[in-house]
Amino acid sequence: MGERMYRRALVLAAPALILAGCVSSGSQVQYGPDGKPLPRVYRITPDIAAEIPFRLLDSVNTLRQAKGVQPLVFSSQLNAAAATHSRDMSVQNRPWHFGSDGSSPLTRVQRVGYPGKLLGEVISETYQTELETLAVWMENPSERDILLDPRARDLGFAWYQEEGGKIWWTAVTGG
């Protein structure tokens, strides 16, 4: 009877031991006043920063390939327009398509000397990675249409991360 009790105790304790092993003191989920989990901060280090644009470009081009449209290439001018707008959204503390100086996406693209035609701009304010942000963009038909537009040839992509961790993402397409 002692061995049977030992096995029963082990069966009952095993799930608790497994769960305890999965939780570390550094990965505790924190909750906001609304009872929802607070966002986890995705810290962009210099090493990660060098990889982010290419992960996003590869992912967008994989999605474009699945739709049967040609891949995009980075445009330094569109990258500059995207970087300017990401920083400016942070300054304004709101995700929207107009700059603090009243500039539109078209104005920003013209300012950087992009020789092609602006096709669209997608933006986001988040704590998520670039690929999680891309997934959200792809769920929205208007943003998905911008990224998968068959007329698009060029992509500009940039972000600005605030000290607190919030990231302002901008992608601009042109053709």
Query: Cβ of 8: how many Cβ atoms within 10 Å?
Result: 10
Q: pLDDT tens string for the chain (175 positions)?
A: 444 433 443 334 333 333 333 333 345 677 878 887 766 788 899 999 999 999 999 999 999 999 999 999 999 999 999 999 999 999 998 788 989 899 999 999 999 999 999 999 999 999 899 999 999 999 999 999 999 999 999 999 999 999 999 999 999 999 9
At 30 the pLDDT is 72
At 39 the pLDDT is 66
CA-closest candidate to residue 172, choices 94, 103, 77: 77
Q: Tell me the C-alpha distance between 103 and 109, whole Å.
A: 10
Q: Tell me the C-alpha distance between 3 and 6, whole Å.
A: 5
Strand partners, 168: 125, 160
Look at the block and give the residue holding tokens 């550094």: 26
Q: Tell me the C-alpha distance between 100 and 124, whole Å.
A: 16
What values do phi and psi take at 42, rounded to 5? -95, 105
- Is the Cβ–Cβ distance between 95 and 124 less than 8 Å? yes
Full-model pTM:
0.77
Look at the block and give the residue holding tokens 């792809």: 138
| 160: exposed, middle or buried (Cβ count in 10 Å: 0-12, 13-18, 19+) | buried
Q: Tell me the C-alpha distance between 46 and 3, whole Å.
A: 57
Q: Tell me the C-alpha distance between 4 and 73, whole Å.
A: 66
3-state secondary structure of 172: strand
Q: Tell me the C-alpha distance between 91 and 11, whole Å.
A: 56
Structure tokens at 76: 């330094």
